[in-house]
Structure 1
Amino acid sequence: MKRTLSLIIISIFLTIFFGRCYNKPDFSNVPFISFVSIEKFVITNQITTAKNDSVVIKIKFQDGDGDLGLDQADTLGTFGNGKPNQFNYRIQVLQKSGSTFIPLPLPDPSFTFDARFPRLEDRGRKNPLEGTLDRNIKFTQSSFATNTIVKFKIKIYDRALNVSNEIETGEVTLRQN
């Protein structure tokens, strides 16, 4: 009994000791992303009964130095409003035309589907990061013709302005009958 108890205590100690010793992942400092999923939901306005589509895109990311995301205070300089690097989540909508996909022409050049995602790392630590990002895009009823098939091209930027690889999502049908 005493021997069994000693073995259990030693096993617990070794598990705790070796559980703390792990190798950090060896990711590139340039972000890497991969497509996980795309889902479409139809949201009905309770007052007008209008039906609008909402698309949720999930991507996986890896970054070697963990400098992903922007603070709310990042509105000046490189990341300032109206600057080329204002957004760190770049998204392009592709619309199906025949058997190919073409970039969706936007009616207003200032309109964008791009977004900002918040800072993800521990402050002051340059550790590898891995996780998922979800992006929700809402489309109004008048945005597309009925049964429009779209997919999305996505890339992200880190604070050092390293650009990830570009991925494409699966297809979704907007304003589906």
Structure 2
Amino acid sequence: MKFKILLFFVSAIALASCVDIPDFSDTPTIFYNGIDQFTVTDESGTREKVVITIDFEDGDGDLGATDSERDNDAFKKPYGKWGNYELVTARKLANGKWLETILSEDSVKWMDILKPDGKPGPIKGKLDLNTYFARGNNTIPITLKFKIRIRDRALHVSNQIETDSVVVPGYPL
């Protein structure tokens, strides 16, 4: 009986030592996963909801900010004109070219802390960003695509990815 218990513990230790810890860069890396859209109606009216999904990897897991940090000017100052999530909107013009802007509602975006225990170590996962486009009497279908970067607490900036295009309600230029 003692031999079986000892064999169990030796096997468990051997199996646990086989788990590879990912070797991600301390600078976040992101990958385009997908973009979805659907119409929502609520007390605000009828809007087109666009959900952008990205996959991420970060070697030290220092992504995100708490609610209290987002309200703290001293914390936000080093981040400058964008938080830890940058969303650039590109609109397709009549001549086929793309006009890139950062919409006012997208100027400073934050993600929640992704590793609440605060212990350094690699993490990977998915992030969904929701953005909305209101429908109105004067809106017309416009074609958009987005460029995204994220930034960790050490201010390391990820690569930039570009989404597929979507058609949403918008106003003529």
Contact 1:53 1:175 (8 Å CA) reproduced:
yes
Shift of 1:164: 0.5
Contact 1:95 1:151 (8 Å CA) reproduced:
yes
Matches within 5 A, 1:158-177: 158-175=152-169
Contact 1:79 1:85 (8 Å CA) reproduced:
no
Moved more, 21-30 or 134-143: 134-143
Measured in 2, the distance between the counterparts of 1:172 and 1:134 equals: 16
Q: Which residue of 2 aligns with 1:91?
A: 87
Q: Which residue of 2 aligns with 1:55?
A: 50
Q: Which residue of 2 aligns with 1:36?
A: 33
Shift of 1:144: 8.1
Higher strand share: 2
Tell me which of 64, 68, 81 is aligned to 1:73: 68
Deviation per CA, 1:39-87, whole angstroms, max 9, x where unpaired?
0111124x68x4310000000010111110111121231415x961661
Measured in 1, the distance between the counterparts of 2:138 and 2:80 equals: 27
Contact 2:62 2:118 (8 Å CA) reproduced:
no
Measured in 2, the distance between the counterparts of 1:144 and 1:168 equals: 28
Contact 2:28 2:156 (8 Å CA) reproduced:
yes
The amino acid across from 1:71 in the alignment is T
Contact 1:144 1:175 (8 Å CA) reproduced:
no
Q: Which residue of 2 aligns with 1:64?
A: 59
Contact 1:79 1:86 (8 Å CA) reproduced:
no
Contact 1:36 1:58 (8 Å CA) reproduced:
yes
Measured in 2, the distance between the counterparts of 1:38 and 1:72 equals: 27
Deviation per CA, 1:105-134, whole angstroms, max 9, x where unpaired?
75xxxx231411111124341100100100
TM-score (norm: length of structure 2):
0.80
Q: Which residue of 2 aligns with 1:137?
A: 131
Q: Indicate the RMSD between aligned Cα atoms, in angstroms.
A: 3.0
Higher helix share: 2
Measured in 1, the distance between the counterparts of 2:137 and 2:152 equals: 31
